[in-house]
Amino acid sequence: MPPQKIIIDTDPGIDDSMAIFFALSSPELEVIGLTTVFGNVHVDLAATNALRLLEIAGRTDIPVAKGAANSLVGDYDNPPAHIHGDDGQGNVHLPPPAGKPIDQTSAQFIVEQVMSNPGEITLVPIGPLTNIALALRLEPRIAQNVKQVVLMGGNALVPGNSTPAAEANIKDDPEAADVVFGAGWPLTMVGLDVTTKAVVTDEQLQSYARSSSPMAQHIARICPFYLDFSRRVNGNAVGGLLVHDSTAVAYLLVPDAFTVKSWPVRVETQGMSRGKTWPMVRPNTRATYWHNRPNVNVCVDIDSARTIALEFSRVAP
């Protein structure tokens, strides 16, 4: 089987870095581009970090595109430096990259790649969904020409993490997310229902430090900052570090490690629940909000021991 061609749409980001390295280390996947978006950092820094990560991985052949700086409806001024560091990389302050982003925007790159490789490209958004909504706006036929979309974001049956209602990626652009969930393409939501079960322990992190791989070494450098944040917020309740974004990559590799439901999903855009993903969990003829909405796959459970072990075996062999 030829490798599955993927475009990772990302806001790197500590767990984004882990996901990118996981994908680059997996022979079943061919990363054909990194498209960047605001989120964990402003978009200029997201593109810079993507270039830096590819240099660490020795994969400067992979193009990086710079995309949306703001959500569809508002300015973005709130990067979570307390979670990912001022530099998005745990304040390790990497040197500037040698390369630069391509001239195309993230949305233009996605459209060009999907339309010139019909049925072949999988989109893996692991940040706010703005670039993906902009790509749909630019060329709606990508919905029929993509292979699938596997995104990290949302919360179906569990609370949010950015607010009590909403997960961070969806909260950062709910209008874009509602477009993406409604586009009628094969879509899988890898949200907090499963990513909050994907915990990497201290001991496992130490094994990254022992690996000679530059990717594993980088992860070992940036993760302590993220772990400190997690401990400040959760105490020892979580027992380690949540690898949200890597879990979307794991879905591509071992989908049978996930329990999946097929539901239509709407995204709340108003009030205190702004950014909440609402699946219609029971057929209900009075549920007008979901009228004519396509079903998507929603991951509700995971064999996380298996997905985490797989990530280790790839990134820190």
Return the bridge partners of 71, or none.
Answer: none
What is the rounded CA–CA span in Å between residue 235 and residue 152? 24
Which residue, 193 or 245, is less far from ligand BDR as judged by CB? 245
At which residue do the structure tokens 């890597």 appear? 246
Task: Kindly indicate which of the ranges 12-20, 48-56, 64-72, 266-274 contains the residues binding ligand BDR, using the contact rule CB under 6 A.
Answer: 12-20
The CB-nearest residue to ligand BDR is 168
Q: Which amino acids are annotated catalytic? A: 11, 244
172 closest CA partner among 39, 270, 12: 39
What is the rounded CA–CA span in Å between residue 100 and residue 93? 18
Return the bridge partners of 123, or none.
Answer: 7, 149
Task: Kindly indicate which of the ranges 13-21, 100-108, 132-140, 224-232 contains the residues binding ligand BDR, using the contact rule CB under 6 A.
Answer: 13-21
152 near ligand BDR, judged by CB under 6 A: yes
Cα–Cα–Cα angle for 272, 163, 93, nearest 5°?
A: 140
The amino acid at residue 278 is W
Which residue, 290 or 308, is less far from ligand BDR as judged by CB? 308
Residue from 121, 134, 168, 219 binding ligand BDR (CB under 6 A):
168
Footprint (CB under 6 A) of ligand BDR, residues 84-143? 126-127
315 closest CA partner among 242, 212, 233: 212
Which residue, 107 or 243, is less far from ligand BDR as judged by CB? 243
Residue from 9, 16, 87, 193 binding ligand BDR (CB under 6 A):
16
Task: Kindly indicate which of the ranges 62-70, 167-175, 180-188, 214-222 contains the residues binding ligand BDR, using the contact rule CB under 6 A.
Answer: 167-175
Which residue, 167 or 178, is less far from ligand BDR as judged by CB? 167
| 185 contacts: CB under 8 Å, gap ≥ 6 | 142, 143, 144, 146, 148, 149
16 near Ca ion, judged by CB under 5 A: yes
Residue from 90, 97, 127, 264 binding Ca ion (CB under 5 A):
127
What is the rounded CA–CA span in Å between residue 137 and residue 110? 12
169 near ligand BDR, judged by CB under 6 A: yes
Strands (E) located in the chain: 4-10, 29-36, 64-66, 121-125, 148-152, 187-190, 199-200, 241-242, 258-267, 277-279, 295-302
67 near ligand BDR, judged by CB under 6 A: no
Binding partner at 168 among ligand BDR, Ca ion, none, C-beta below 5 to 8 Å by kind: ligand BDR
124 near Ca ion, judged by CB under 5 A: no
Footprint (CB under 6 A) of ligand BDR, residues 272-291? none
